[in-house]
Amino acid sequence: MSKELLFINELVMGKLRNLYDELVVHTNEVSSVMIKIVNNDIALQHAQTLYTISLYLVKNRRTFVLESSTSNVGELLRLVEGLRDYAGMIQESELYAPLPEPKPYKPLDNLVDEKVVAYISNPTQLCELLINSAINEGAQRTSGTLKLSISSKALTTSNGFEGFERGSEVVAYLRAFRGDCSGHWAYGSRFLDPRSLEEVGRKAAQYSAVAKDSANVSPGRYDVILSPLVVGNLMELIASMASAFYVLSGFSIFMNREVGDRVASEDLTLADVPRDILLGSSTAFDDEGVETYDKEIIGRGVLKTLLHNSKTASRLGVKSTGNAGWISPRPWNISLMTGDAELEEMINEVRNGLLITNNWYTRLHNYVEGVFSTVSRDAVLYIRDGVVVGNAGRVRIADNLNKLLNNIVMIGREQYLIKWWEVTTPSKVPYLLVKDVNITRPFD
Amino acid sequence: MSEDVLRYIVDYALSLGAKYAEARYQSDSTLVMIARNGRLITLGRSVNDGVGIRLIYNGVLAFSATNKLGRDDLIDVVRKAVDRAKALSHLVRIPVRFSDEEVGRGSYEVKALKGFESVSIDEKVKLLGEFHGRVVSSVKEVKIPTTYCEYVEHMQRKLIFNSDGGFVKGEVPRLSIMFSLVMRHNGKGSLQRLMHWGASGGLELLDRWSPREALEDEARNLEKVLIYGVEPPKEAVDVVMGSEVVGLMVHESAGHPMEADRILGREAAQAGESYVKPEYLGSFRIGSEYATVVEDPTIPGSFGYYEYDDECIKAYPRYLYKEGLIKEPLHNRYTAFMLRSRSNGSSRSMDYASEPLIRMSNTYLKPGDMSFEELIEDIDFGVYIKSYMEWNIDDIRWNQRYVGLESYLIVKGELRDAVRNPVLELTTSDFYSRIVGVDKELRFYPGTCGKGEPPQGIPVWFGGPNVRLSKIRLGGVTL
């Protein structure tokens, strides 16, 4: 496979090298199967075999990007020719920098779990495991997905970089229902671990049963424990806002901040970890051929770096952080450093608060000021004096991201590998306890 | 891609024992320009084409996609889908079946009056520069630190063949623009606005939208809101929601909960379920006589336009809510079978690699016959919320929140001072029950609606008139 993709890159490079000043060819092949589970039943098996080719092209400091998922080579070449004609018509890119000089990179080994390869052709056993682990824990019905994939990427640049990687990924999430209550859990990694799939079903079912009695929670300020699913969703947002492109475009709370500013509680350390091979987007090189490295975005509460490609780095006078994205840098994998608290200790600590086990629909009123809200789904446990006393139903966190980051008072001692619909960047995240969070729901 | 190749795929699937098979060739190509502060960052092209194959084997619904279009590649995809379905079939409790339908054979095409190629690239780039220039020059006391713009030309072609004899060919060009601005004032902080334009058609849409003038007006109005905006009233007041907010509200609280796959729980772990239960259909009262919500894929020039869905069912307008009653959900052939109904042509896919799902097209609240002035003339003290930034809704489409951006006090029937960040947080029943008047100005706004796994973004319009709600409490945001 590596030879085949790199050969295609070389072929494209050969055809286009003389037409453009700089060129990057990125080919990708993905084989995946996803099983959708609905009400304990198999609702769909979804399989893909996709081949994509993406080109980054520069002519006279004008930049072009071509994304294609086609086998129509003729159409592809026609578009490439057309783009060259545009070079004389458009202005120099607002964000141009020459491709970084190629350097050797240290490859990541063992990105493929052969068990994933084996189960792609028949994932039946894993689906049964996922469903049964929830049913055995008392769930009445379950819905979710199991996705297995193998992907290969090859990157070739006109100034001499050549890289290839092949990796596997498994993503599983399940929502378990018991009467009107539900719980949800997720798992994402390059490696298939049946115990982790069992844990997905078990934890989802457990949260569907923790509190049957409903608790009437009025709008107001509460101390709130956020589950790893919620932490994953919010930290993905924060890490994405560290993309220098988002900062320059007005979609970031870091727009009015400088590296070195305190932006969060002292205990909070949030890192981009592309070299953590447990996580599904681990990679040794970015889309410009720059070697990746693990880095703190926020270290002990202080903004340590933005995420850069060569263009944003050049604009802001720093070095690339190996996070290209040709246009926008992005985090690869997210890790939030653990603290020393057990979940039980956090619950004991709460006098009047909530444990929010899952959320979705996080939206911002103002990216620069961090005004946002997000809606809970599944179990929301109301806690009085260290004891869970009921299920609060659907509530909303409506607060400010800056405040939330600064009000973190306890961090769980265990990281969970999370990826699902609302956490699309592979994440290793613990539970968090945040004080004084604004909780809303419709007025009665 | 010809009908013959698609027919060959379908026949091969049937020969392996599939009870139903469909093959859809879909091509999506775009031109995208991204600009910051009026200067081009990059120009992108994309081309995305391949075949999506769906079949039912032993009660298992299987969807497979590939862009390797050789005969052997396609056969291999079908064979693997059948093999996996065989292995999974013992886990199936309720076999998947489709409703019997009259499937269509036809074609449709949206013709651009001014083709995408009729204006040169440098003119288009210049336009993006003008957008920024107009915004910056139209404000006096605030700064505009950043604007950001994405301009997209999209051409979508579909060719669909299924084992029930359906054959549909569709071609739709679409144009869309997203513009974001950050506005800052020393002492008053900042605000942010995202504006969207989108429709099917060609560059004639630019003349219709007049985006330069719209951006000037927007920046001027928002400057007043930022500098002079007052706190929203604490007591319950009459609230008038502008078309832009109303459109979003009906999309979220009528369109989504009336998707029959949600009602049946098929999206439970992703986009959620619905407060609507099967027994509510046709009888449950959700609102006042003004609560009539229409879903219509056939509106000419709309962003969500189509004439046949991806299961080859002819599209037509549907009433989701009618005069306060829950009426007809959006169906595909699977949900129609499960709920003993007929498909109403709501199945669409984002691209060839995506499973056809029940999707909205163009959703709107039915307008009335009074003017805006008449709608507000007897409001002694209230709030008019014209636009929004933040919103969200829970997973059963009941508890929702909208945060106003451009908003004004209404005093004795007239718009007065600007209001900053009024928050409307209410239930679906609250919204539709509190409607006491609607004006006649039906306006539509574009959106990209998300659903499914892998997630699919689909172009839609949502719209409505200005709507008056009786006595409701507003909140504020945490700055």
What number is the average pLDDT over the span B163-179?
98
Q: Which residue has the tokens 């059948």?
A: B82
pLDDT score of A338: 98
What number is the average pLDDT over the span B113-128?
96
**Is B413 buried (19+), middle (13-18) or exposed (0-12) by CB count in 10 A?**
middle
When pLDDT is cut at 50, 70 and 90, the band that residue A212 belongs to is confident
- Contact list, A175 vs chain B (CB under 8 Å): 268-269
When pLDDT is cut at 50, 70 and 90, the band that residue A335 belongs to is very high
Helix (H, G, I), strand (E, B) or coil at B258: helix
Q: Find the range with the poorest average confidence among A59-63, A330-334, B329-333.
A: A59-63
Between the ranges A2-11, B78-87, B254-263, where is the mean pLDDT highest? B254-263
What number is the average pLDDT over the span A166-180?
97
- The answer to whether residue A247 scores a pLDDT higher than 70 is yes
A85, closest residue in chain B (CA to CA) = B121
- Contact list, B67 vs chain A (CB under 8 Å): 50-51, 69-71
CA distance B401 to chain A (A): 8
Q: Find the range with the poorest average confidence among A51-65, A85-99, B217-231, B298-312.
A: A85-99
Put simply, the answer to whether B269 touches A42 (Cβ < 8 Å) is no
pLDDT score of A211: 76
Contact pairs from chain A to chain B, CB under 8 Å: 284
What number is the average pLDDT over the span B322-342?
98
* pLDDT tens digits, A40-91: 999 999 999 898 999 999 999 999 999 998 777 777 778 888 888 888 888 8
Q: Which residues contact B14 (CB under 8 A, 6 or more apart)?
A: B21, B163
Put simply, the answer to whether A34 touches B453 (Cβ < 8 Å) is yes
B36–A contact, CB cutoff 8 A: yes
When pLDDT is cut at 50, 70 and 90, the band that residue A118 belongs to is very high
- The answer to whether residue A2 scores a pLDDT higher than 70 is no
A368–B contact, CB cutoff 8 A: yes
B381 in Cβ contact with B409 (< 8 Å) = yes
When pLDDT is cut at 50, 70 and 90, the band that residue A98 belongs to is very high
pLDDT score of B82: 95
What number is the average pLDDT over the span B215-226?
98
* pLDDT tens digits, A361-383: 999 999 999 999 999 999 999 99
pLDDT score of A21: 95
ipTM computed for the complex: 0.95
Domain boundaries, chain B: 3-228, 237-472
* pLDDT tens digits, B82-115: 999 999 999 899 999 999 999 999 999 999 999 9
Looking at the partner chain, which of B47, B91, B270 has a beta carbon nearest the beta carbon of A127? B91
Domain B3-228 sits in CATH at: 3.30.2290.10
Looking at the partner chain, which of A38, A86, A248 has a beta carbon nearest the beta carbon of B36? A248
CA distance A366 to chain B (A): 6
Put simply, the answer to whether A127 touches B94 (Cβ < 8 Å) is no
CA distance B22 to chain A (A): 14
**Residue B479: its H or E element:** none
pLDDT score of B478: 67
- The answer to whether residue B236 scores a pLDDT higher than 60 is yes
Tell me the residues of chain A between 28 and 47 that have a Cβ less than 8 Å away from chain B.
Answer: 33-47
Put simply, the answer to whether A72 touches B47 (Cβ < 8 Å) is yes
B65–A contact, CB cutoff 8 A: yes
What number is the average pLDDT over the span A380-387?
97
Tell me the residues of chain A between 128 and 167 that have a Cβ less than 8 Å away from chain B.
Answer: 128, 131, 141, 143-145
- What's the CA gap between A48 and B64, in Å, rounded? 6
- Contact list, A151 vs chain B (CB under 8 Å): none
B424 in Cβ contact with B453 (< 8 Å) = no
* pLDDT tens digits, B18-64: 999 999 999 999 999 999 999 999 999 999 999 999 999 999 999 99
Reading the block at residue B424, the tokens are 């409307």
B234–A contact, CB cutoff 8 A: no
- The answer to whether residue A320 scores a pLDDT higher than 70 is yes
Share of chain B above pLDDT 70, in %: 100
pLDDT score of A409: 98
What number is the average pLDDT over the span B414-430?
97
pLDDT score of A76: 79
Looking at the partner chain, which of B48, B61, B191 has a beta carbon nearest the beta carbon of A70? B48
When pLDDT is cut at 50, 70 and 90, the band that residue B479 belongs to is low
B429–A contact, CB cutoff 8 A: no
B403–A contact, CB cutoff 8 A: yes
What number is the average pLDDT over the span A144-152?
98
- What's the CA gap between A284 and A288, in Å, rounded? 12
Looking at the partner chain, which of B36, B61, B120 has a beta carbon nearest the beta carbon of A43? B61
Looking at the partner chain, which of B91, B145, B399 has a beta carbon nearest the beta carbon of A441? B399
* Average pLDDT, rounded, for chain A: 95
Domains and CATH numbers, chain A: 2-207 (3.30.2290.10), 220-440 (no CATH)
What number is the average pLDDT over the span B125-130?
97
Phi, psi of B151 (to 5 degrees): -115, 125
Put simply, the answer to whether B66 touches A95 (Cβ < 8 Å) is no
pLDDT score of B157: 98
What number is the average pLDDT over the span B8-16?
98
- Contact list, A123 vs chain B (CB under 8 Å): 84, 88
Put simply, the answer to whether B46 touches A67 (Cβ < 8 Å) is yes
B100–A contact, CB cutoff 8 A: no
* pLDDT tens digits, B367-381: 999 999 999 999 999
